[in-house]
Amino acid sequence: MAWDFSTEPEFEEKLEWIRRFRAERVEPLDLLYPDRAYHPLDDELGPVVRTLKQQVRDEGLWAPHLGPELGGRGFGQVKLALINEILGQSSWAPVIFGTAAPDTGNAEIIARYGTDEQKERYLQPLLEGECFSCFSMTEPQAGADPTMFTTRAERDGDDWVITGRKFFSSNARTSKFVIVMAVTNPDASPYKGMSMFLVPSDTPGVRIERHLGIMGEATDEGMHALIAYDGVRVPGDALLGGEGQAFAIAQTRLGGGRVHHAMRVVGQSQKALDMMAERALSRETQGERLADKQLVRADLADSYAQLAQFRLFVLYTAWQIDRYQDYKRVRKDIAAIKFLTPKVLHDIVYRSMHLHGALGVSNEMPFSDMWNGAAVMAVVDGPTEVHKITVARDVLRGYEAAPGLWPTQHLPTRREWARKQLEDLL
């Protein structure tokens, strides 16, 4: 038997270091520079951020999602889950620890599908944390259904020429390069007719039409670009992986990314629950603490149970990925935690924010970002409905229709069967 919910003492020490480092050294960045985590470093922040990253490297904790061949520790997904739930409580921590999206996913696909030259040119600076990258897949007219993408890449001699528009390309404004998904063979099925390209952001024809922000961000201040590719010419070796492989590459990338979001949301939900418990014990009304009100206790209990279930499901999914090394095999559970992620965050953040009354909805508490995060999580990397469809389809695969008119658990039919089973004895 190998059911074990404990953490090895040596690894627990590492987790303790991460907890302390995040709380003492990284959270100050969240408070002093809340909007700068994904911006290029200037003279003021550069030395601070490089020092903190170096301290993480010295501890052997840089890019813990990567295998040793790429400079990580090859911890695997379960340990990564335990790390990410700590890092998820800070917006700067993923940058300081080299685990920030979309760079982690981009690094993973270049490592897996890139040529040696591509790795040297694009992967190395990413792994060193010296540049940002962008993944440009969604289009203005199509997101959840990638078979509707129309951005084209056409051969012209040895080159490819890319034409089309992409939407919500995160970090385009700061990225050194963009990974673009484009149709290379319109006659093939979309699953075989699209390819990925590595395109330096300053290539002529890459034109950012505008930067979209998410809720509350000022116009054109956001990090998600509407990009036009106006006949962008790239050499033949800009192709990432083989021609027609874009779908397979995207699935590799998004599978891991979805699990990492869920891991971080475990931490954010825990933070909301911590705030809720503290407030319940601190605030009094009608002669008693909020914590003494039954309705408040019910909300606390619901939040605790919801988070515990979610956390175990995330860890179990991570354990399956470690065990089978096959995202496809774990697809059902990845899809299930993907749609639970916004729901759990939404429910716990709402209860906690509400318990703080006016203060909770004010800009003096950190709830608004968490609240926005729940809405974003329900859309990013595919909307909730699409993941529910995946889960339902996979669940149904394990069943068959009832053989006759009545369900197999129909009691009169079962009793008739039971009598026959025991007729020699009855």
Ligand X SMILES: Cc1cc2nc3c(=O)[nH]c(=O)nc-3n(C[C@H](O)[C@H](O)[C@H](O)COP(=O)(O)OP(=O)(O)OC[C@H]3O[C@@H](n4cnc5c(N)ncnc54)[C@H](O)[C@@H]3O)c2cc1C
Q: Two tokens at 59?
A: 């501890």
Least distance CB 139 / ligand X (angstroms): 8
Q: What minimum distance in Å lies between the beta carbon of 415 and ligand X? A: 41
Please give the sequence-ordered ranges of beta strands (E in DSSP) within 51-107, or none if there are none: none
224 interacts with ligand X by CB under 6 A: yes
Compute the distance between CA of residue 422 and CA of residue 340 in angstroms, rounded to an integer: 46
Q: Give whichever of 144 and 298 is closer to ligand X, judged by the CB atom.
A: 144
**Identified binder of ligand X from the candidate list 198, 380, 390, 391, rule CB under 6 A:** 380
Q: φ, ψ for residue 93 (rounded to 5)?
A: -60, -45
> To the nearest whole angstrom, how small is the minimum distance from the Cβ of residue 31 to ligand X?
22
Calpha distance 171→173 (Å, rounded): 5
The verdict on 228 binding ligand X (CB under 6 A) reads no
Question: Which residue lies nearer to ligand X by CB, 136 or 184?
Answer: 136
Whole-number Å distance between alpha carbons of 55 and 358: 40
| Binding residues for ligand X, total number by CB under 6 A | 21
Least gap, CB of 178 to ligand X (angstroms): 10
Out of 135, 177, 229, 339, the only residue in the binding site for ligand X (CB under 6 A) is 135
Decide: 87 and 93 in contact? Cβ < 8 Å. yes
Q: Is 136 in the site for ligand X (CB under 6 A)?
A: yes
Give strand pairing partners of 194: 183
Helix intervals (H) in 171-293: 246-282
The DSSP 8-state label assigned to residue 195 in this structure reads E
- Interface with ligand X includes 35 (CB under 6 A)? no
Q: Which of residues 101-120 bind ligand X (CB under 6 A)?
A: 102
Please select the residue that binds ligand X; options are 32, 144, 395, 418, rule is CB under 6 A.
144
With CB under 6 A as the contact rule, the residue among 122, 149, 160, 168 that binds ligand X is: 168
| 3 state DSSP class of 141 | coil
Look at residue 218 and give its three-state secondary structure.
coil
248 binds ligand X (CB under 6 A): no
Question: Strand 239-240 relative to strand 175-183: parallel, antiparallel, unpaired?
Answer: unpaired
Q: Which residues contact 213 (CB under 8 A, 6 or more apart)?
A: 219, 220, 221, 222, 223, 224
Contact residues for ligand X (CB under 6 A)?
102, 135-138, 143-144, 168-170, 214, 224, 376, 379-383, 385-386, 389
